[in-house]
Structure 1
Amino acid sequence: MEKENPYLNVYLGSLKKPWADYCASIGKKPGAALKEAIERQLESANALTEPKTYQQTKPIPDKEPKVRFEILLTPSEKAALTKRAEVERCSQRRWVIDAIRAGLTNEAQFGMSEIEALGESNYQLLAIGRNLNQIARKLNEGDPDPIQTELIKGLRAIIDRHTHVVSTAIRASLERWDLE
């Protein structure tokens, strides 16, 4: 298979001198400036075809002022929103915010039933982790089988990582965050 040539040859004709003068005035080589222009053009084209996915950064303090935004819904949309918010045991405002955040971040925004299930999952996993610690302690007191001890420590590490991920997901869903 033939190797692709990374170079581009462009005939500028009478544009070469003005382009070289412009590049000199901004302190760039003509090739570097052209490459930047192409990159910006491609970024702009991608911005039109692929919407930006935002990421949650730092939590916003509750005291930070919010910006008012109003939407108008049809009666059927409002009724559906009311019903969905009731089913998910949250306010209509919270449901709309979660829907917007899910669309912007491509990350799940949990309703109260999911948060309760995740909280229960973490509670059970932490209890299992405590039991594993007790077993490991007993093994360490006697003549432990090193394979069993390492296996238990490995399980404990997996449980700790899982509970951290779940706790972070719950917190991200409940708290307001800056988006970038």
Structure 2
Amino acid sequence: MVKKKSYLNVYLGTVKEPWVDYCNTLGKKPGAAIKEAIEQQLAKAEANFQPKTYRQTESVKEPKERFEILLTTSEKAAIKDRASTERCSMRRWIVDAIRTGLTHEPQFSMSEIDALGESNYQLLALGRNLNQIARRLNEGHYEPVTVERIDALSRLIDKHTDIVSDAIRASLERWSLE
């Protein structure tokens, strides 16, 4: 097992003397004060960059509260256009945008959900094919693995990765501004 060193060497140059004097007024050793400052910065960074988690189950629905916002005509038109493209209401699109901002997790549109559902169906079919081959081999039966079967499985994998890539790209592009 390799022991990690937990020391940090820092060249302070001309600020060392004022730093030592400052720490003496606080009654702290300079190294302890630096460690404390680093811990405070890390705690602050963790608090600022920790995404909120949002999970709502059907059994426990949190009540909704009305919140109004004012948009310019062009903002409203852009939201209407995006919501139409993603086959959802303007309200749903705005809520998804807010959730994405709060949680840093994607909120998929209906077309993306459809695409991912089809992709998962194809992936499950691929898994069934591989399980059938493995079962036959484990039973001691010779299972001819032909080039055609490998090509078919490869096409399924390619189709799956294309669908998932498109959904990911659409999700990322949804939030970029032009």
Which category of TM-score, normalised to the shorter sequence, fits these structures?
0.5 to 0.7
| TM-score, normalising length: structure 1 | 0.56
The alignment status of 1:60 with 2:31, answered yes or no, reads no
Structure 2 matches for 1:129-144, cutoff 5 A?
A: 129-144=127-142
The 1:131–1:5 alpha-carbon spacing in structure 2 relative to 1, beyond 3 Å, is: closer
| RMSD (CA atoms) | 4.1
Runs of 4+ with >6 A deviation: none
Give me the identity figure in percent.
Answer: 62
The 1:130–1:55 alpha-carbon spacing in structure 2 relative to 1, beyond 3 Å, is: farther
Structure 2 alignment gaps of length 5 or more: 1-7, 172-178
Match for residue 16 of structure 2? 10
Q: Is the CA contact (8 Å cut-off) linking 1:82 and 1:92 kept in structure 2? A: yes
The 1:144–1:18 alpha-carbon spacing in structure 2 relative to 1, beyond 3 Å, is: same
The Cα shift of 1:32 comes to 1.3
Structure 2 matches for 1:36-75, cutoff 5 A?
A: 36-37=36-37, 40=40, 52-55=48-51, 57=53, 59-61=55-57, 62-75=60-73
Q: Which has the higher contact order (CA 8 A, sep 6+)?
A: 1
1:9-47 CA-to-partner distances (Å, cap 9, x unmatched) read 732486555311xx5xxxxx5531343235535876x79
Structure 2 matches for 1:113-152, cutoff 5 A?
A: 113-144=111-142
Aligned equivalents of 2:31, 2:65: Cα separation in 1:
44
